[in-house]
Amino acid sequence: MKKHIFLLAALIGLGIGITPAQVQKGSVLIKNATVLTITKGNLESSDVLVQNGIITQVGKNLTAPNGISIIDATGKYLMPGIIDAHSHVGLDVVNEASAPITAEIRMKDVVNPYEIGIYRALAGGVTVSHAMHGSANVIGGQNATLKHRWGSKDPADIIMQDAPRTIKFALGENPTRVHGRGNGIQPRSRMGVEAVIRNGFNEALQYKKAWENYNLAKTQKGNTTTPPAYNERLQTLVDILDGKIIIHCHSYRADEIYMLINVVKDFNIKKLVFQHTNEGFKVAPEIAEYTMGASVFADWWSYKMEVYYSTAYNAAILQKNGALTSINSDSAELIRHLYHEAAKTQRYGGLTDEEALAMITINPAKQLGIEDKVGSIEIGKQADLAIFEGHPLSSYAVPQMTFVDGIKYFDRNSDQLDQRQRVAATEMVEPIYLRANEEAHRCMQDVNSYFEAFQGAFFSEKH
């Protein structure tokens, strides 16, 4: 037994050596809440016990083991932490708009744990966000799945290290404007977008073959073959083809959605989620059959030509056609009330409470490949939790407390009006963001500097 512990300790030690960060995990007993488990129904006046960051018990009249703090949630609602499958909070940079394919780019390199958007998201009950590359490129960078451990100093501490890799794709207006119209290179049309993807994957197949040939030759006696040049960009595309990365594709029109479905069918790629997907409702049966579904806005439309023919009933149509559907924010503002965005599926399409809540919890968890860890209140899952005054789907709901791994990172009652942590004596005039909502939409952020000759046309572009 002792040997085992020793071995375990050694393993943990090794683990620390590999993982750069040590995240905090908490224990807490939340009592007498209406527990919205999402996957196992609603439990009236029930308790949830969290030990060392994991949900260990769910039931009535639970008692707290020694030293575990108790939170009385009588009259309140407890739900799993909200998951945003499309966000740019906690990022210093969003777009590497320098080429139609930039698959080697990693958002994990630009995570900023001090970004205030993380805290504001927590204040809306959001515990996990999918920090995405922007939509300037057909195949953009690899995204980071974040856990909102506010106060962490090391970027690695807010990255969900056990989440699978995902990558951003983008179709339609943004890549054709940036590369075709801005730079005079393919793609200028939606035909070109398809070509960029197909060419990229075919090149990746050749690259893979070259390595296979080399690896085979290496085993031969007297081999003198030199290895192919390593190419991170192509290797990432190979990883997509090998099913190691989930594609999250910015898309709006039905034709381009249908195009990508055909492309991934040809390359035998199974892991594909559509983002925005405003015209997804037109190809809902195809999305349901061939993909991991769609992550959509509740009601945004008309801000650009390719979303003019949208409907707020999109999520309901997708859901009722059997497509896995989530509601996302893509905005530092909307991320603060995703519970309300999900509730709009009741106004537009009459979805049930269970269906609406799943769209901001277990459904996005599935699309990010983390449904075994978060997205519902179940024994064994990570204790990401949110307490609400009022049902989360009521327009009058007010989030009260938010927990990540059993640690409370937001408490409305201890929130200060003035939250300045440091005041610089030299800074006499504090910056005021008067049209902050417009700056909150960041899908096309950082593109301007590449195309200043474009007379600021990108400024008016969102998403």
Closer CB to another protein, 220 or 455, in the complex: 455
One of 231, 311, 373, 378 touching another protein (CB under 8 A) = 311
Q: How far is the CB of 269 from another protein (least distance, A)?
A: 19
Strands (E), 186-293: 245-251, 272-276
**What is the distance between the alpha carbons of residues 372 and 160, in angstroms, rounded to a whole number?**
13
Binding segment for another protein among 33-41, 159-167, 227-235, 309-317 (CB under 8 A)?
309-317
Non-local (6+) Cβ contacts of 288 within 8 A are 318, 321, 322, 323, 324
Cβ-based neighbour number of residue 24 at 10 Å: 14
Q: Using CA atoms, how far apart are residues 23 and 27, in angstroms rounded to an integer?
A: 14
Residues 330/276, Cβ–Cβ less than 8 Å: yes
Q: In Å, how far from its chain's centre is CA 412? A: 25
Q: Which two tokens stand for residue 78?
A: 């407890």
Q: Which of 188, 198, 304, 408 binds another protein (CB under 8 A)?
A: 304
For another protein, the binding residues in 422-441 under the rule CB under 8 A are: 428-434, 436-437, 439-440
Site string for another protein, 392-421 (x = CB under 8 A): -xxxxxx----------------xxxxxxx
Tokens describing residue 383: 């204790």
| Position among 89, 294, 343, 370 found at the interface with another protein (CB under 8 A) | 343
Q: Does 316 bind another protein (CB under 8 A)?
A: yes
CB of 416 to another protein, least distance (A): 7
Q: Which stretch binds another protein (CB under 8 A): 6-14, 129-137, 228-236, 299-307?
A: 299-307
Interface pick for another protein out of 211, 303, 450, 454 (rule CB under 8 A) = 303
Q: Say which residues have a Cβ less than 8 Å from residue 57's Cβ, sequence separation at least 6.
A: 47, 48, 49, 379
Applying CB under 8 A, among 108, 340, 381, 442 the residue interacting with another protein is: 340
For another protein, the closer CB: 125 or 141: 125
Query: Treating both helix axes as pointing N-terminal to C-terminal, what angle do 190-219 and 232-241 enclose, rounded to 10 degrees?
Result: 90
- Contact window for another protein (CB under 8 A) among 57-65, 74-82, 203-211, 335-343: 335-343
Using rule CB under 8 A, residue 313 touches another protein: yes
Residue 146 to residue 212: CA distance in whole angstroms: 35
In the chain the first and final C-alpha atoms are separated, in Å, by: 56
Angle at 266 between CA 87 and CA 368, to 5 degrees: 25
Using the 8-state DSSP alphabet, how is residue 441 labeled? B
Q: Verify binding: residue 262, another protein, rule CB under 8 A.
A: no
Please work out the total of residues on this chain that contact another protein, with binding judged by CB under 8 A.
Answer: 68
**197 vs 259, beta carbon nearer another protein:** 259
- Strand bridging mode 144-147 / 139-142: unpaired
Going from the C-alpha of 391 to that of each of 16, 84, 415, 444, the distances in angstroms are 41, 19, 21, 35
Does 297 interact with another protein (rule: CB under 8 A)?
Answer: no
**Judged by CB under 8 A, which stretch of 3-11, 93-101, 330-338, 370-378 contacts another protein?**
330-338
Contacts of another protein in 350-379 (CB under 8 A): 350
Measure the CA angle with vertex 247, ends 242 and 251; round to 5°: 145
Rule CB under 8 A: is residue 230 a binding residue for another protein?
no
Binding region for another protein (CB under 8 A): 116, 119-120, 123, 281-282, 284-286, 288-289, 299-305, 308-313, 316-317, 320-321, 332-333, 336-337, 340, 343-344, 346-350, 390, 393-398, 415-421, 428-434, 436-437, 439-440, 460-462
